Copies of this chain bind each other. A is one copy, B any other.
């Protein structure tokens, strides 16, 4: 599984930005009180259960602060964390480690949060539907959050407005579904077309127009089941709209191929991961 990590160029830039936020202009004013020649070995520990994500970001944060800091990983993105799990070991000058600690942990905790809630949705869907992430990501972190979703076992919907056609109700102001699908085939041949539908009637129109996916928005599980029957394999069926951990199982049982969940990126609580310092060498 090499797709659980974000592209390295995205990691580098996000980390540089985060460190600039935390270290400018005067650096770590508290760390400056500690002698530079104290070396340390610290452990990155899970304080609660979850799924790991953000390894590349954490490594990069320590390296950008001080190339002398070495991080050794015992676990990789996508692996399960138990409370108390030893995730990585960090070795290097004490002030450098402390200066990078919060930035490294902010990435780890947030991205592991995304991976963890994704995994919970994936489990709740019990394999009856795939869990998809939307474009409702935290601004500036899309590449990282999309990877964290994959680490959690979910899949990615559109990466951006540029890479997938999704005709929503707001587009239909001056355009019929048929016209939208036809134009999409013409202007962007070879790309999947998805149409958001609020009713079985729209689903039928979209299928007849040859859409690749229908997105059933804000329907009940029963309505979803009816639409799945109506579609009858003519295209993929995706469901969205306020689906929670409580309701996702019912929706999955209704038979759609995909379930889009904004919550996994826009409202994921962190996983509590911290740095323990068992040893300080003089």
**Which A residues are within 8 Å of any B CB, using their own CB?**
1-3, 5-10, 12-36, 38, 40, 42, 57, 64-66, 94-95, 98-99, 101-103, 105-107, 109-110, 113, 130, 132, 135-143, 146-147, 150, 155-157, 159-171, 173-175, 180, 183-184, 187-192, 194, 212-213, 236, 238, 257-258, 262-263, 266-270, 275, 277, 280, 282
**Which residues does chain B contribute within 8 Å of A262, judged by CB atoms?**
270
Q: Is the CB of B161 within 8 A of A162?
A: no
**Which residues does chain B contribute within 8 Å of A156, judged by CB atoms?**
26, 188
Please name the residue on chain B nearest to A6 by beta carbon.
Answer: B27
Nearest CB of B to A262, in Å: 8
Please name the residue on chain B nearest to A38 by beta carbon.
Answer: B174
Q: Is the CB of A160 within 8 A of B109?
A: no
* A143 and B21 alpha carbons, distance in the complex (Å): 8
Nearest CB of B to A45, in Å: 13
Q: Is the CB of B275 within 8 A of A173?
A: no
* A49 and B67 alpha carbons, distance in the complex (Å): 32
Q: Which 6 A-B pairs have the closest CB atoms?
A: A163-B163, A3-B32, A2-B36, A173-B280, A267-B269, A18-B139
Kindly identify which residue among B113, B161, B164 contacts A27, using a CB–CB cutoff of 8 Å.
B161
7 A-B pairs besides A26-B147, A164-B190, A190-B238 with CB distance below 8 A are A24-B143, A25-B146, A29-B191, A33-B165, A101-B170, A160-B163, A190-B258
